[in-house]
Structure 1
Amino acid sequence: MRVFKYRGGNFERDLDSLERNYYWAPKFDDLNDPFETLINTDPFKVQSRTFAKLFGKEKSEQFSEVEKALHNLFDVKKKGIGIYSLSKTFKDELLWAHYADSHRGFCIEYDLELLANSYKSFETFSFPVIYNKKPPEYGIRDINNTKSEQIVQKLAGYKSKRWQYEQEHRIVTGFYGEHPYEPSCLKSIYFGLNMNEKEKELMIDRLKGRNVQFYQIIQKHNSYEFDAVKINDLTKEKYTYLKEIPEEITKGKPINFVINSKLYIRDIKGMVEIELESKVNRKQLDWIAQLLKKDIFRKVERLFVSYTIKDGSKGEGYWAMSTYEKDKLESKINGLTLEQEKSLVNILTNDKRKSLGKWIDETPYVSSGIILVEENKDLFFETIYHDGSKSSTKVTSTKLNGDYRYDDCEPNIHGEYFIVSNDGKLNFCSNDGIFRTIKPFDKNNYLQHRV
């Protein structure tokens, strides 16, 4: 379901909230209906007095205590929760006049399901407003309905029929104030009839690459109705926001990345896992982390961003990490950096000894080059580190159905050994089986990487 929010009167504030992917849910006291949260509790009072007469003074006192507790509960809810008011239409002339600065503002289109369910660590309730001639009543039977959702809907889900033209749908939040949402919630922007042209251009520019459709509201010919005309063609636009490191940062071609998961714990911490198309440098890692902090996690005290490389080692640690502690950012590469990778590629390429295989182990923390060499009929696995240092292990070989198994000549207390398969892959093995596999070294694969 699509819902709409009319905005006007403070363009920079509203554009900032769109850029940084959040909405503001005000307190009840800040809304424009003086009858917000009005509940008729007279039925409860009448019914409780009737029960008191039937069951005596003791029951009367109990009902009195229940009534006090009930009012306290309503007061607590009213003081804490926030209300984000939306509409089911973008074409209402009164809404444009009242909430979009007399048509000088704009209207935002959201995907309601995505908006209401963004970041599950935040308590939210979503429901259409019920319009009635009288406020909702609270009676004895409602005592059993003490769940937050039922209480909130009773408090915030009813308005006078005079407001019916708004076709309001509400998102009620567990706390008032700023609430982040997934960028994909934002679908379209509708420009008002009288919106400033420079503001339109600025909004289109600052929201580019986000897969947002822009429309211009127009008046239908000989009618009191509005229509909307598309301004941009999304099929011709590249969706790049939170998907690539741009050319101005890479100083070359853009580098794509995918956000695989996000966790947002209100004001405390955020956690993100990202898969990079290829290796990047620390400056580019910083750029990603800064973008996430600015546009998604700007309220958290700590942010942890973990990076893997597409088609790289999985399940053996992250290639890199970026960490925000309050406003201090540190990015650290745990695997091979671009410079270290280049060094290993040169070493393996220029090694002219007789070898039975070459590999680059990309595993974080233990990254290295590996060569299986034959010297004087002896076999050695030589490990070459990115700083040029080496270690060598003498091994024996056994043929296994086209593959070769290599065991240390010295006793291996961990029961580990290597298998080189007939397709050239190097398998690290133990008594429990294969625990890591590396493809054979191919210089051409690394020449494609950005340096």
Structure 2
Amino acid sequence: MDEEALKEQLTDWERDFFSRDIQLLYKYRGNIYRDLLALKNYQLFIPTKDGLNDPNESCVSLKRIYEELEYNRRVAVENPIVSLKEQAASLEKQISATTNMLNMMVDSVGIFSVSKRYDSECMWSYYANGHKGFCIEYDAKILRNCFKDKNIFTNNFEVKYSNERMTPDSDEFMLLAKSNPIDTLKGIFASKSKSWEQEEEVRYTLQPIKESQYIDIPDNAVTGIYIGARCSDFDKNLILKTIKSMGNCNIKLYQMKFKEDSFDMDSEEIIYK
């Protein structure tokens, strides 16, 4: 697919984001020792679907399809016409083949989840150990180029939030499988319940990734570290020592804090060189 056709499938946020000279995304971290070790080694942990914390991940409801199949079987029994039986059997076969194909695709995708923001109070609470951890700032463009160099097919998607699960009928389901892979990936991996809306999530979908794994990234992919507002002095020193040992003198260090006149958060750069 040419570049112009791909652009047509982008959301407004994606178009704006990808047109920027500087493209930054954020990963909240709460396990100081594990996550600092991965940071020091310039590694990303890429889980597959089963390694994500939302049990509804990548789940397409086949409710309407099963109802349609059951209706066709019943009609074929009540009207013993060869053509109706053949149509019912053919549809069932197509649905089965499409399901297998989509399952194979889902099982070959790794997902790296990041956020649009480094100053989300909820994200600091949920994913950074109650503001005691840290947040990594990544150059999204460098990450995409890194995956490309490793022959990993990747897309960045802005996650959309809805109260409705994807529930296609048979025609929509088979079209999903036959349509452009970008649309299919978006429909399956970039759709979540509104309960997760505060995450403002962006996702890298990576193929082929058969199992959860660490992937090496360039040292300039990390551009900043934000220290949580409740991070202990001991852990702050550990973060600082880790950054100094990494050899990338361009990583900026920030201290998160709460504003005195609102519930918003702010950051203050720490000069450590």
Q: Which moved more, 1:111-120 or 1:52-61?
A: 52-61
Native 8 Å contact 1:21 1:180 kept in 2: yes
In structure 1, what is the equivalent of residue 166 of structure 2? 136
Q: Which of 127, 135, 141 is residue 157 of structure 2 equivalent to?
A: 127
Distance 1:137 1:182, change over 3 A: farther
Q: What is the deviation of 1:60? A: 1.6
* Structure 1 segment 297-312 matched on structure 2, within 5 A: none
Larger radius of gyration between Structure 1 and Structure 2: 1
Q: Residue 50 of structure 2: SS of its match in structure 1? A: helix
Answering whether residue 189 of structure 2 is matched by residue 159 of structure 1, we say no
Q: Over the residues paired in the alignment, what is the CA RMSD in angstroms?
A: 2.4
* Structure 1 equivalent of residue 204 of structure 2: 171
Report how far residue 46 of structure 1 moved: 5.5
Q: What one-letter code is carried by the residue in structure 1 that aligns with 2:127?
A: Y
- Aligned equivalent of 2:59: 38
**Match of 2:182, SS?**
helix
Question: How far apart in 1 are the matches of 2:65 and 2:154?
Answer: 28
Please state whether the residue corresponding to 1:229 is helix, strand or coil.
Answer: strand
The CA deviation at 1:44 is 4.0
SS in 2 for 1:194: coil
C-alpha separation in 1, matches of 2:185 and 2:267: 35
Aligned to 2:36: 15
Moved more, 85-94 or 38-47: 38-47
Counterpart-to-counterpart distance in 2, 1:119 and 1:132: 30
- Amino acid in structure 2 at the alignment position of 1:131: Y
Alignment of 1:62-73 (within 5 A): 62-73=90-101
Output the amino acid matched with 2:159: V
Q: What's the secondary structure of 1:37's corresponding residue?
A: coil
Deviation at 1:68, TM superposition (A): 1.1
Q: What percentage of aligned pairs have identical amino acids?
A: 27
Tell me if 1:149 matches 2:179.
no
Pairing partner for 1:3 from 25, 31, 45: 25
Which residue of structure 1 lines up, in the alignment, with residue 224 of structure 2?
188
Give distance in 1, aligned partners of 2:60 and 2:236.
43
Give CA deviations for 1:169-220 in whole Å, capped at 9, x if unaligned. Answer: 1112221311222222211100001112233223323323411010000110
Alignment of 1:304-343 (within 5 A): none
* Structure-1 separation of matches of 2:188 and 2:101: 11
Distance in structure 2 (CA, Å) of the matches to 1:159 and 1:125: 17
Q: Give 1 or 2: higher helix fraction.
A: 2
Residues 403-426 of structure 1 deviation map (CA, whole Å, 9 limit, x = unaligned): xxxxxxxxxxxxxxxxxxxxxxxx
- The answer to whether the 8 Å contact 1:117/1:124 transfers is no
Determine which structure has greater relative contact order: mean sequence separation of CA pairs < 8 Å that are 6+ residues apart, divided by chain length: 2
1:48, distance to aligned residue in structure 2 (A):
6.5
Taking structure 2 as the reference length, what is the TM-score of the superposition?
0.76
CA contact (8 A) 1:44 1:138 kept: yes
Q: After TM superposition, give the deviation of residue 98 of structure 1 in Å.
A: 0.9
Structure having the higher strand fraction is: 1
Matches within 5 A, 1:372-451: none
Gaps of 5+ in 1: 238-451
* Secondary structure, aligned partner of 2:53: coil
Deviations 1:367-402 (A, max 9, x none): xxxxxxxxxxxxxxxxxxxxxxxxxxxxxxxxxxxx
**For 2:257, which of 214, 218, 235 is the aligned residue?**
218
> What is residue 78 of structure 1 aligned with on the other side?
106
SS in 2 for 1:222: coil
Q: Does the aligned pair in 2 maintain the 1:188–1:212 contact within 8 Å?
A: yes
Partner of 2:14: none
1:95 to 95, 111, 123: 123
What residue number does 1:352 align with?
none
Structure 2 stretches lacking a partner, 5+ long: 1-22, 77-82
Equivalent in the alignment of 1:116? 144
8 Å Cα contact 1:49-1:60 kept in structure 2: no
Residue 45 of structure 1 deviates from its aligned partner by: 4.6
For 1:192 and 1:164, locate their aligned partners in 2 and report how far apart those are by CA, in whole Å. 22
Q: How far does the alpha carbon of each residue in 1:46-69 deviate from its partner, in whole angstroms, 9 at most, with x for none?
A: 566788979622222111011112
* Counterpart code for 2:24: R
Q: Distance in 2 between matches of 1:150 and 1:44?
A: 20
How far apart, in 2, do the equivalents of 1:182 and 1:136 lie? Answer: 37
Maintained 8 Å contact 2:44/2:215: yes
Match of 1:392 in 2: none
Distance 2:40 2:153 in 1: 23
Paired residue type of 1:151: T
Letter aligned with residue 231 of structure 2:
M
The count of residues paired between Structure 1 and Structure 2 equals 233
Q: Per the alignment, in what secondary structure is the counterpart of residue 117 of structure 1?
A: helix
Mapped to 1, the partners of 2:154 and 2:33 lie a distance apart of 27
